Amino acid sequence: MRTELTSKIYEIMEREMQEMGPFIVKKQCFIIGADPDDIEQKDLPALAGKLAEVMRSFGGHQKAGRIYTEIKKLGDFEKMAQQGATPEDRTKMTEDLGVGSLYSGEWKKADEYFQRLLKDAEARKDARTRIRYLKLLGFLHQEMADFADALRYYEMALNAASLLGDGATVAECHYHVGEVHWHRGDFRRATESYNKAIESAAGDDVIIGQAHIGIGNIYSDSSETGRAIDHYKEALAHLKKTKQHQDIARAYNNLGDNYLQMGKWDDALHSFGESGDYADKGGWLNMKAWTQFNSAAALISMKRHDEAKQLLDISLKTLEKIGDKQGLGGLHHIYGMYHRARKDWNRMILSYQRALAIYIEIGTPLSVAVCRHELGMGYKEKGDAQGAKEELRLAIETYRKLKLDTMAEKVQADLAGM
């Protein structure tokens, strides 16, 4: 029988996630070593942090913040961290508070916790622990899209790890630096950092696999699909030696996306199916939903419209429950493709506009450009030349800003043909 505290945690998660809530609580309890039927006060900081991390992945900082705030009402986390039995306990709880604040979007609070921990590590001249908090500060600023400071902290961690001769951490830091450069759109530096991660990984299949995904993403963004596919396959060769189910799912999903671009529908469906299977193993509900709407995109191109609609509707239910805004943007994008294929022009326009609103809100300009291009061609097929020209011009403008001139020229050719 569950304790009162345990029941309250399940109630919070069921309210936010319906029938998925208990599954998420149990999984995170097992990860932190807590009894899922007898959660204790001492478990709360770590459990709240893990739940915030998961919910940020599923539904963004807003949903994570709601859950984290509710769980914090069940115990005085600050007091617990201050009264830990040992210095190690106090440090661990403070770190849990920092992680929970990070994933729930309480960035100022997270910074305070990590700065406090960093200062303590420096006072103790504990170089390895110092590196850990530099990496966490780097990730915090990356989440905030403060890429200049993210890069500064990651490079400090990289230099410290190099001085220690810690090759594994050096490789990890090169990977994180690559991720920051990729987010900033500096593909040359990102590629250099990913390659340095591979070179210094000393056979670490996780880092090597993640770095190959990063390089694959760069080639994919540059429309070099063949080279992107090669790197995703190389990533899978390494990651399948590990238990990194989420990274394997990510590699398969990205591989499927590139098969879609090449018109290899069967290969795309196979890749999305594999991604969904690994997403299930890793408990990654949002990725499972992503593979469903991505599979629908392949099915639409194969004119298997009824199957596509069924997958889209299933994906919609999951994404709305978990509040995955980025996923909902992609889903409405594919709904736009579906309605365009069915020549249901009003629904097509509405779906693409919904996708664009989300893409603009969350700041994914490449998706905005692709979506505008497709909507423009939909207007053209509808016979609305003015609507088509407006969207195609906006797509060209966005591609030019992203320095993706090849893509801009493709849209320019479509515009010139009107």
Q: What is the pLDDT of residue 18?
A: 81
Of 148-157, 197-206, 245-254, 402-411, the poorest mean pLDDT is in 402-411
Burial class (CB in 10 A: 0-12, 13-18, 19+), 339: buried
Contact call for residues 339 and 365 (beta carbons, < 8 A): no
Contact call for residues 47 and 39 (beta carbons, < 8 A): yes
Sequence-separated contacts (24+) of 37-43 with Cβ below 8 Å: 37/1, 37/2, 37/3, 37/6, 38/2, 38/3, 38/6, 39/3, 39/5, 39/6, 39/9, 40/5, 41/5, 41/75, 41/80, 42/80
Which is more confident, 231 or 363? Answer: 231
Q: What is the pLDDT of residue 59?
A: 67
14-50 pLDDT, tens digit per residue, is 888 888 888 889 989 999 899 999 999 888 889 988 9
Which is more confident, 11 or 362? Answer: 11
Q: How far is CA 341 from the centre of its chain?
A: 29
Confidence label for 223 from pLDDT (cuts 50, 70 and 90): confident
Confidence label for 53 from pLDDT (cuts 50, 70 and 90): confident
Closest Cα to residue 328, out of 67, 17, 59? Answer: 59
Which is more confident, 155 or 362? Answer: 155
Which is more confident, 223 or 157? Answer: 157
Of 76-80, 97-101, 152-156, the poorest mean pLDDT is in 76-80
Confidence label for 110 from pLDDT (cuts 50, 70 and 90): very high
Tell me: pLDDT of 283 over 80: no
319-351 pLDDT, tens digit per residue, is 888 778 889 999 999 999 999 999 999 999 999
Confidence label for 237 from pLDDT (cuts 50, 70 and 90): very high
User: Cα(56)–Cα(317) distance, rounded to whole angstroms?
Assistant: 18
Helix, strand and coil content of the chain, in percent to the nearest 5, comes to 85, 0, 15
349-393 pLDDT, tens digit per residue, is 999 999 999 999 877 888 999 999 999 999 999 999 999 999 999
Average pLDDT of the chain, as a whole number = 92
Confidence label for 80 from pLDDT (cuts 50, 70 and 90): confident
Give the residue-averaged pLDDT of 104-126.
94
Structure tokens at 203: 């056979």
Tell me: pLDDT of 83 over 90: no
Q: Global pTM?
A: 0.84
Give the residue-averaged pLDDT of 75-84.
80
Q: What is the pLDDT of residue 79?
A: 84
